[in-house]
């Protein structure tokens, strides 16, 4: 870490700062210039709060040389993390194809979709039971009943299931769920992350709409620092000025996250675009860029289209997409 101090600081201010830093168990190097003095901090600076330093009038800049995340950091864990779910794996060369409806609506619906996506090559079933909606007047999901229907679909097809949690109090309900999803709006719900860190469940953590990669990895760190190393990162689009697509898929985040961290990275092209016509090209794009998997919305019944989002594929479209994804995977192997 580098701290740049204005030479206009009084000797007393400077000495106070130096003693405070020394108390953090790091070594200091000084480089005095005409207008500024640069202090280099050597040692474990993970726990030094840069905001506090930046707040001092005499400090003009603070720059981290090393990353503030540790458990998630590839530097300290060079091999890819591989997460096992049922008899499928994610990461380290294992590609996950997660598919299913936005919301679980009925046993008939979820079982039919589960069978269709399994036939088309999906390895994990997704489906929403607890639904975070912008409006309190919109459908909030079948909640506990939806979880029960997902478990039925799991039994019928053998597919492991993933579904979203919205409150730490609900953790007991997720006992038979294979992967617990934390949605974008809860990426910095730190109390929830800590509680999930106390379980051993794989956690799929979605990137917040306006969160940097560093914040994203710090949220993974919240789960991991409590002892749960089974975190899957999910890029699902960020908020920008562009309005043709609902969000802007940050495709560069995939190779960047895989460089910074050993955790698997999957992409959700359905939420990233909000447009079903873009799901196939974005799936191919994410596969080619090096993602460890895809999470795709699929609905089964054209006449129910009104209740599926604008971003859902039919099972036929999903099969077509899955086939093309496999071609890209094969070409790059």
- Binding to its own copies in span 132-191, by CB under 8 A: 132-139, 166-169, 185-186, 188-191
Q: Which stretch binds its own copies (CB under 8 A): 78-86, 91-99, 174-182, 246-254?
A: 246-254
Between residues 93 and 241, which has the closer beta carbon with respect to its own copies? Answer: 241
- Sort strands 2-6 and 59-63 into parallel, antiparallel or unpaired: antiparallel
Instruction: Work out whether 277 is an interface residue with its own copies (CB under 8 A).
Output: yes
* CA proximity to 173, closest of 199, 139, 135: 199
> Rounded to an integer, what distance in angstroms lies between the CA atom of residue 152 and that of residue 288?
34
Q: Name which of residues 69 to 88 contact its own copies (CB under 8 A).
A: 69
Between residues 58 and 84, which has the closer beta carbon with respect to its own copies? Answer: 58
Between residues 129 and 253, which has the closer beta carbon with respect to its own copies? Answer: 253
> Rounded to an integer, what distance in angstroms lies between the CA atom of residue 207 and that of residue 236?
7
Between residues 42 and 119, which has the closer beta carbon with respect to its own copies? Answer: 42
Helix, strand or coil, per DSSP, at residue 179: strand
Between residues 94 and 304, which has the closer beta carbon with respect to its own copies? Answer: 304
234 and 179 Cβ atoms separated by less than 8 Å: no
- Sort strands 203-206 and 179-182 into parallel, antiparallel or unpaired: parallel
Q: Which stretch binds its own copies (CB under 8 A): 39-47, 156-164, 171-179, 228-236?
A: 39-47
Q: Name which of residues 11 to 30 contact its own copies (CB under 8 A).
A: 16-17, 20, 29-30
Selected from 31, 106, 119, 145, the binder of its own copies by CB under 8 A is 31
Instruction: Work out whether 310 is an interface residue with its own copies (CB under 8 A).
Output: yes
126 and 163 Cβ atoms separated by less than 8 Å: yes
Instruction: For residue 262, give every residue at least 6 positions away whose Cβ sits within 8 Å of its Cβ, in sequence order, or none.
Output: 72, 73, 74, 77, 78, 79, 80, 81
Between residues 232 and 253, which has the closer beta carbon with respect to its own copies? Answer: 253
Between residues 200 and 330, which has the closer beta carbon with respect to its own copies? Answer: 330
> Rounded to an integer, what distance in angstroms lies between the CA atom of residue 101 and that of residue 299?
5
240 dihedral zone (left: phi>0; alpha: psi -120 to 50; beta): beta
Q: Give me the least distance between CB of 95 and its own copies, in Å please.
A: 14
Selected from 22, 76, 255, 316, the binder of its own copies by CB under 8 A is 255
* Exposed / middle / buried, residue 304 (Cβ in 10 Å: 0-12, 13-18, 19+): middle
Looking up tokens 């794996």 gives 89
Instruction: Work out whether 198 is an interface residue with its own copies (CB under 8 A).
Output: no
Between residues 66 and 115, which has the closer beta carbon with respect to its own copies? Answer: 66
Selected from 77, 209, 317, 320, the binder of its own copies by CB under 8 A is 209
Selected from 42, 119, 145, 158, the binder of its own copies by CB under 8 A is 42
> Rounded to an integer, what distance in angstroms lies between the CA atom of residue 184 and that of residue 126?
16
Query: What letter would DSSP give residue 8?
Result: T
Site string for its own copies, 279-298 (x = CB under 8 A): --xx-xxxxxxx--------
Selected from 164, 268, 308, 319, the binder of its own copies by CB under 8 A is 308
Between residues 63 and 155, which has the closer beta carbon with respect to its own copies? Answer: 63
Q: Name which of residues 47 to 66 contact its own copies (CB under 8 A).
A: 47, 49, 51-57, 60-61, 63, 65-66
In the numeric block, which tokens belong to residue 316? 């036929």
> Rounded to an integer, what distance in angstroms lies between the CA atom of residue 9 and that of residue 54?
14
Q: Name which of residues 216 to 245 contact its own copies (CB under 8 A).
A: 218, 221-222, 225-226, 238-245
């Amino acid at each position: 870490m580098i701290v740049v101090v204005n030479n206009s600081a009084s000797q007393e201010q400077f000495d106070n700062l130096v003693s405070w830093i020394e108390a953090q168990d790091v070594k200091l190097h000084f480089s005095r210039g005409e207008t500024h003095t640069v202090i280099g901090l050597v040692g474990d600076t993970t726990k030094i709060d840069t905001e506090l330093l930046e707040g001092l009038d005499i400090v003009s800049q603070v720059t981290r040389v090393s990353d503030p995340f540790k458990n998630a950091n590839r530097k300290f864990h060079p091999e890819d993390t591989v997460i096992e779910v049922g008899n499928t794996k994610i990461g380290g060369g294992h590609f996950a194809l997660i598919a299913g409806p936005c919301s679980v609506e009925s046993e008939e619906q979820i079982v039919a979709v589960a069978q269709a996506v399994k036939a088309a090559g999906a390895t994990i079933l997704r489906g929403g039971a607890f639904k975070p909606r912008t409006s309190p007047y919109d459908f909030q999901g079948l909640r506990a009943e939806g979880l029960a229907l997902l478990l039925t679909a799991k039994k019928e097809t053998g597919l492991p299931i993933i579904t979203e949690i919205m409150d730490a109090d609900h953790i007991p309900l997720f006992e038979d769920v294979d992967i617990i999803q934390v949605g974008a709006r809860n990426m910095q719900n730190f109390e929830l992350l800590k509680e999930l860190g106390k379980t051993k469940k794989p956690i799929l953590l979605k990137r917040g709409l306006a969160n940097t990669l560093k914040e994203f990895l710090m949220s993974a760190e919240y789960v991991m620092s409590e002892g749960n190393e089974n975190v899957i990162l999910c890029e699902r689009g960020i908020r920008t000025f562009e309005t043709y697509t609902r969000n802007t898929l940050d495709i560069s985040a995939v190779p960047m996250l895989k460089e910074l961290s050993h955790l698997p990275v999957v992409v959700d092209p359905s939420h990233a675009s909000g447009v079903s016509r873009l799901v196939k090209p974005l799936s191919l794009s994410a596969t080619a860029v090096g993602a460890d998997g895809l999470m795709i919305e699929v609905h089964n019944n054209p006449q129910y289209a009104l209740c599926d989002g604008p971003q859902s594929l039919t099972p036929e479209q999903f099969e077509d997409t899955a086939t093309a994804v496999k071609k890209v995977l094969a070409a790059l192997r």
